[in-house]
Amino acid sequence: MGVTSDQHESSAPCAPSGSQLLDGTVASLAARVQRLTAEYQAPVLALGVFERVGSNWLSDSLRQAMPQHNEPFRQQLSREHPLSPADRVPPSLHETGLGGLDRHQLVCALCDLHGPDRHLVKETNLFFAVDTVLGLLPRSPAIVLTRAPIGIASSFARGRLWERWRYGDRYAQVSASARAPRWRASFAALLPDDRPDPSTALGRLLAVNALLLARTLHDPVTGARPRLVIPYERHVADRAATRSALARFLDIPAPALVEPQPNQGQDAAHATFATTRHKDQLIAELSRGDAARVSDSVAATIECARQTLAPDVTRTAAEWLAGDDLYELHAPVARASSGFRPASVPVVMPRPDYPPASGVRWRNLLVTNTEMAELLTLLHAGGAPNSRLGTNLLVCPMPHERGGRLHFDRASRQWRVSRGYEEHPAYWVTWLGAALMAAWSGARLPTRVEALEAAAGRRASNCDYAVGDTCPVAEPGLGRGDVHHVIGNVQVWCADGPEQVEDQPLQRYLAGAAWNTPGTWEAAAAERSRYLLGSSRGVGVRLVRDPGTTDTARLGAWELANLLNRWTTVADSDARTTPGALDRLLLRAVES
């Protein structure tokens, strides 16, 4: 079970001229992106056969060498979007209702993954969207991360992830997708709607996701790319060998072994998304019955697939899911619940204010979830909903179990906040959402230079997974006249960004450190940027005011809703408009 690499000549469709229509098909979207990013490197795709394949070591190893994106397709496209991995992706995007705004967001998101330096894009559990995602990135080499089924099942059991991440519902959704016309001949029998126990259902999902990934990588079009396979078990046994193979594949110096941070406490160790220690043994905490059910389910699913899928596809999936015999079974250990909600500790929240700092007046507190929910509710009432056919404009409303703290209640038509996180900083906010919050507050976003000047010499607080999540925006020991979390808790959007050529999507800088990023000055001051509708679980909003600015500068939510709707109407009206032109139109509207 070693690290294997296959080199294939990468083919890509011819790029359209600027006058050609973007018709919404995968080929036309990929061609538009290729034309806009012709001078940039395509990203490397890290594709897991499932979740919990140990991808954090890859991120940690490459953090200093490559900008990274974690599950941009799976996380940022809601189920209503035709390309969402939670949707029944059709063979063509024609007649799906994909409008100009949706095409614009996709092109901007895909361009964001390219750059002068190669980026790393991690995706897991794409299921029936995998061929579409790889079709959108035809020049991207692929790293396939594999792990034996009982190793994945053990990780699920330790974190109670089947229940916490609602995998029973996920099984029902994927099973329904398997019965859609495009897929039923090959996959319906693999995911029967027979209410399986969690271990059996997990094994089936594992096998089907691996089969779909193998099928796509064996396709002569979508699979024509260099690829490297790294089994988790091989990495545990010989980390130096996997790092060397990774360096050769990416043509970079061998990444150094990243040691766990010594200051990470018990809370971080139990956090779902934290990485706190290296594994040096293959131990599965499962009962023998659960281990057997997972292994048998995987084997039975692949055996059934041999009746409808090509032999090389089933053989590859079986190889990726081998290795159960390498694990030592241990009885499950009872653990205290890691919990999802912060402890109910009274926090003295100072009133928002704008004390002077570094030549401008900085809002003393980061924007909270409560404040963002209020603005989103008012904008929705004004006729400007956050999501348009699955394209999120202002925030990415992730489930609470996946780190989301802002949720839209369809019954009341109001946004609510996960209990216990009301005074935590808002994240999963797009630059557009941050800019509208600034306008509504009678403020603006800081420039990158302003943010760096304010943070110079300050020690980062709540970074490096120190507590495994955000903390309240008020820092203990600081008052109304102090600026809390000048650096740390979340990174913040800036008002400016790198220069882009006229046709390319615009980007805006991110500044500072977050709970899930390194807190060193070098890391916090590193130049990084995202597209205007991008968001992540570590980026929030800090506001500043120029001297003399008061609350009279605030814009009403109805006015902002009208502004937003005018821009989305333009975005939907002409498929010939370039991403750069649309973004500049948005900037002029927001800044006017």
CATH number, domain containing residue 97: 3.40.50
CATH number, domain containing residue 582: 3.90.1580
In this structure, the answer to whether residues 284 and 415 fall within a common structural domain is no
In this structure, the answer to whether residues 324 and 405 fall within a common structural domain is no
* CA–CA dist 116, 235 (Å, integer): 29
Average pLDDT score over the chain: 87
User: Do 529 and 507 meet the contact criterion of CB atoms below 8 Å apart?
Assistant: yes
Smallest Cα–Cα separation from 278: which of 320, 241, 330, 235? 235
Residue 483, helix vs strand vs coil: coil
> Cα–Cα–Cα angle for 165, 433, 516, nearest 5°?
50
User: Which amino acid does the sequence have at 177?
Assistant: S
Does residue 449 form part of some domain? yes
User: Do 589 and 563 meet the contact criterion of CB atoms below 8 Å apart?
Assistant: yes
- Bridge partners of 48, per DSSP, are 124, 145
Beta strands in 381-490 (DSSP E): 387-388, 391-392, 406-409, 414-417
Residue 77 reports pLDDT greater than 50: yes
Domain that holds residue 447: 356-591
The token pair that represents 81 in the structure block: 């979007």
* CA–CA dist 295, 129 (Å, integer): 25
Does residue 349 form part of some domain? no
The token pair that represents 280 in the structure block: 């040096």
Does residue 224 form part of some domain? yes
Does residue 406 form part of some domain? yes
In this structure, the answer to whether residues 288 and 363 fall within a common structural domain is no
In this structure, the answer to whether residues 457 and 547 fall within a common structural domain is yes
Residue 467, helix vs strand vs coil: coil
pLDDT number for residue 210 = 98
Residue 91 reports pLDDT greater than 80: no
User: Do 48 and 320 meet the contact criterion of CB atoms below 8 Å apart?
Assistant: no
Query: How many structural domains does the chain have?
Result: 2
Smallest Cα–Cα separation from 434: which of 483, 488, 408, 395? 395
* CA–CA dist 538, 543 (Å, integer): 16
**Which of 52-61, 133-142, 252-261 has the largest mean confidence?**
133-142
- Bridge partners of 417, per DSSP, are 406
User: Which amino acid does the sequence have at 128?
Assistant: F
Residues in contact with 486: Cβ distance below 8 Å, sequence separation at least 6, in sequence order: 362, 454, 455, 458, 512
User: Do 133 and 241 meet the contact criterion of CB atoms below 8 Å apart?
Assistant: no
Q: Give the predicted TM-score (pTM) of the model.
A: 0.88
Sign of the Cα pseudo-torsion (129, 130, 135, 138, in order): positive
Confidence of residue 14 (pLDDT cuts 50, 70, 90): very low
Using one digit for the tens of pLDDT, what is the confidence trace for 306-324?
999 999 999 999 999 999 9
Where is average pLDDT lowest: 95-99, 377-381, 446-450?
Answer: 95-99
Residue 269 reports pLDDT greater than 60: no
In this structure, the answer to whether residues 325 and 367 fall within a common structural domain is no
Does residue 430 form part of some domain? yes
In this structure, the answer to whether residues 398 and 310 fall within a common structural domain is no
Confidence of residue 475 (pLDDT cuts 50, 70, 90): very high
* CA–CA dist 350, 352 (Å, integer): 6
In this structure, the answer to whether residues 299 and 258 fall within a common structural domain is yes
Q: Report the pLDDT averaged over residues 165-187.
A: 92
HEC string of 345-392 equals CCCCCCCCCCCEECCEEECCCCCEHHHHHHHHHHHHHCCCCCEECCEE
In this structure, the answer to whether residues 76 and 198 fall within a common structural domain is yes
Residue 175 reports pLDDT greater than 50: yes
Does residue 223 form part of some domain? yes
Radius of gyration of the chain (CA): 24
Confidence of residue 278 (pLDDT cuts 50, 70, 90): low
Range 74-96 burial, b when 16+ CB lie within 10 A, else e: bbbbbeebbbbbbbbbbeebeeb
Give the ranges where 218-279 is alpha helix by DSSP (H). Answer: 232-237, 239-250, 266-270
The token pair that represents 307 in the structure block: 């009746």
Residue 192, Ramachandran bin (φ over 0: left; ψ between -120 and 50: alpha; else beta): beta
* CA–CA dist 462, 513 (Å, integer): 9
Residue 457, Ramachandran bin (φ over 0: left; ψ between -120 and 50: alpha; else beta): left
Using one digit for the tens of pLDDT, what is the confidence trace for 323-382?
999 999 999 887 665 555 565 556 788 999 999 887 899 999 999 999 999 999 999 999
In this structure, the answer to whether residues 413 and 310 fall within a common structural domain is no
Residue 157, Ramachandran bin (φ over 0: left; ψ between -120 and 50: alpha; else beta): alpha
Using one digit for the tens of pLDDT, what is the confidence trace for 60-73?
888 888 889 988 88
Q: Which phi and psi (to 5°) does residue 62 adopt?
A: -105, 5
